[in-house]
Structure 1
């Protein structure tokens, strides 16, 4: 079974078992919703501890969560630097033309004419739309906005993306 990161526990918060999480999910409201089940992976351990969220709130840049059966700081102290992950079975179906980052990263990008542009190496979230950093074998990186006018086809199974770059987008 595959697991996908949704956050990292960076510290405890208070004395009642609350932990501070730096979220790495596009859906923190869903991932950290009361009743959600996550795998907690301690550093250097391969097997997850399954936890169930009993509370979630935002505090500064953190998500603060508590787990079922964890009522004080002593029970969560050892979770510092642990990763919270969701199993592939818990992934939500996304609407059409929406993809999880793991599906896009590593995809090879081609123009309509078949020219190889490079691989998607990073996804930048700009607010309006995502921008994909595409790194070629040689030369400088390209930044491709994920908009309908440019991105014509995404095939995560084949790890292939077809774009119709507007003039100047792929300047060398």
Structure 2
């Protein structure tokens, strides 16, 4: 069995109707799986209350969900703003796609040298950026195959092409 990580898959929005339904602001690429009837999510924190999905449906582009034990609007409204966490398998969902949680903390190597560790991922419309933290500061590395040809989750190492200037400190702003 593959190792798992905890990830946020959505945040509860406002109550919808009178029968305990809530809207969900999605953070998952797999809403039909994460919010299927019977799916169990955790509320707020990794050790938060377990919420079992009773029903879910799409209303236009809005996901509407009902959880067991939340049968009226007043009770459902108490969930508003709650992050919903799920346990997912670490690794690739599709070739080249990784959960942020699987990448954060991995060593970054380039030219045979340890350059730092991945601190976070910035999701931009054009491409994702790895935020690599080192003793010299933070460096942004475009997360594209041409620059990051190897992501080895088993060894905890990401290989980055040895590109001059990529891991050098930013030039001083003095004298400008």
TM range (shorter): 0.7 to 0.9
Please say if residues 8 and 83 of structure 1, whose CA atoms lie closer than 8 Å, have aligned partners that are also in contact.
Answer: yes
Deviation at 1:129, TM superposition (A): 3.0
Q: Which runs of 5+ in 2 are unaligned?
A: 170-176
User: TM-score normalised to the size of structure 2?
Assistant: 0.73
Match in the other structure for 2:150: 153
Provide Cα deviations, 1:54-110, integer angstroms capped at 9, x if missing partner.
1233778x7432235644213323323433122246x79612332111110111111
Query: How far apart in 1 are the matches of 2:69 and 2:155?
Result: 43
Secondary structure of 1:103 counterpart: helix
State whether residues 38 and 85 of structure 1, in contact with CA within 8 Å, keep that contact through their aligned partners in structure 2.
no
- Name the counterpart of 1:46: 47
Partner of 1:110: 109
Contact 1:110 1:117 in 2 (8 A): yes
Q: Which has the larger radius of gyration?
A: 2
For these two proteins, the number of residue pairs brought into alignment is 166
TM-score of the pair, normalised by structure 1: 0.75
Which residue, 11, 15, 33 being the options, matches 2:14?
11
Compute the RMSD of aligned alpha carbons.
Answer: 3.1
Query: In the TM superposition, what whole-angstrom CA distance separates every residue of 1:25-73 from its partner, at most 9, and x where no partner exists?
Result: 24335423x4360323256x9353231251233778x743223564421
Correspondence 1:114-125 to 2 at 5 A: 114-125=112-123
